[in-house]
Structure 1
Amino acid sequence: MLDQTFNSVYTKFKLHFYKAVFSRFQDREASLTTVETFCMEIIMALGRPTINEFARFVNISPPNAAYKVNSLIQKGYVRKEQSPEDKREYHLTVTQKYIDYYNISYGYLTTVMERIKHRFPAEDAKRLEEMLRIISSELMPEISLPAESPVP
């Protein structure tokens, strides 16, 4: 039962995002393919990866990753920034154009979080936050994100 409930919540977040993305296609605003959207989500989650770090994460060759990244650069969703420490290295940074695109889904997350805070007592919301932190940091070791902080 827990797995079905969690899947339902996860599916609703995905469907809300897809619905918003498709509405942009109807308005001709969207210019990212499905694969490019996935690439952008990964780049954003990795927090300024190099092309090689991105390639390793998605398990593709560096030339294939560079091809995908160059398409995203041409569309204005990513830029390469030279590392101040190692001038030979470039980090991928998402642009405001993508952040605006990304806010389609993040805005809904914010809405749902506000609803949780209003619907449940503060101690329940705090417990949910603690449980989600444990799930993310301890129970999902296959994926680590740079912005994660350890469970206190």
Structure 2
Amino acid sequence: MLEQDFELLYLKFRANYYKRMVEKIGPREGSLSATECFCVEIIHLLGGPTVSQFARYLKISVPNALYKINCLVEKGYVERIDGNDRRENRLLVTAKFLDYYGLRDRDNARLMSRIHESFSEEEIERLDEMIRRIIALMDEPEQSGGENT
């Protein structure tokens, strides 16, 4: 039951976010494809990765990553910032992306308001504690089972 409920919660978050993203972006020049949307969000969530880090995270080649990044730069959603040694550029999302990304913030604010209306302070504290523990579990390195898959 927990597995199904957690999956449903995750899917609802994703579905609501992408619904809002599609509503906001719409079919106009310079809009993002689904893959581009995913890539720019990954760049944002990685917190300014290098091209190599982005490619490694997605398990794609550097040339493939560069192609995706160049499209995002052309559309104005990502910029390259020179790194310390000038060999590796950092990738940062632009204000244009953050405007679209803010859709999630508004959705979350509405949900948080409803949670505060529906649950007791103790329930909210317990939920917060569990969420923090789940995040910590997600941040732990995966344990290898000794098998090559």
- For 1:118 and 1:30, locate their aligned partners in 2 and report how far apart those are by CA, in whole Å: 40
1:118 Cα offset (Å): 2.4
2:92 maps to what in 1? 93
Describe the superposition over 1:41-91 as per-residue Cα deviations: whole angstroms up to 9, x where unpaired.
Answer: 1111100000000000000001110110010000000001112x3232210
Aligned mates of 2:27, 2:59 — CA distance in 1: 34
Distance of aligned partners of 1:16 and 1:31 in 2 relative to their CA distance in 1, 3 Å threshold:
same
Asked if the contact 1:24/1:30 (under 8 Å) is kept, the reply is: no
CA drift of 1:140 comes to 5.3
Q: Give the TM-score taking structure 2 as reference length.
A: 0.85
RMSD over equivalenced CA pairs, Å: 2.0
Number of aligned residues: 142
Structure 1 stretch displaced more, 12-21 or 40-49: 12-21
Give the Cα–Cα distance (whole angstroms) in 1 for the partners of residues 89 and 15 of structure 2: 34
Question: What residue is the counterpart of 2:57 in the other structure?
Answer: 57
Q: Does 1:110 align with 2:109?
A: yes
Matched-pair contact (CA < 8 Å) for 2:51–2:88: no
- Aligned equivalents of 2:138 and 2:47: distance in 1? 21
What is the CA-CA distance between 1:4 and the residue it aligns to?
2.0
Does residue 1:80 correspond to 2:58, yes or no? no
Give the corresponding residue for 2:23.
Answer: 23
Matched with 2:145 is none
Runs (4+) of structure 1 exceeding 4 A deviation are: none
- Structure-2 residue corresponding to 1:149: none
| One-letter identity of the residue aligned with 1:50 | T
- Percent pairwise identity: 42
How far does the alpha carbon of each residue in 1:79-110 deviate from its partner, in whole angstroms, 9 at most, with x for none?
A: 01112x32322100100100111112232122
Match of 1:147 in 2: none
Unaligned runs of 5+ in 1: 144-152
SS of residue in 2 equivalent to 1:80: strand
Any unmatched runs of 5+ in structure 2? Answer: 143-149
The residue that corresponds to 2:147 in the other structure is none
Pair 1:71–1:142, CA change in 2 (3 A): farther
What is the TM-score with the length of structure 1 in the denominator? 0.83
Distance in 2 separating the partners of 1:77 and 1:15: 22
**Conservation of the 8 A alpha-carbon contact between 1:78 and 1:92:** yes
Mapping for residues 115-134 of structure 1, pairs under 5 Å: 115-134=114-133
Distance 1:21 1:139, change over 3 A: closer
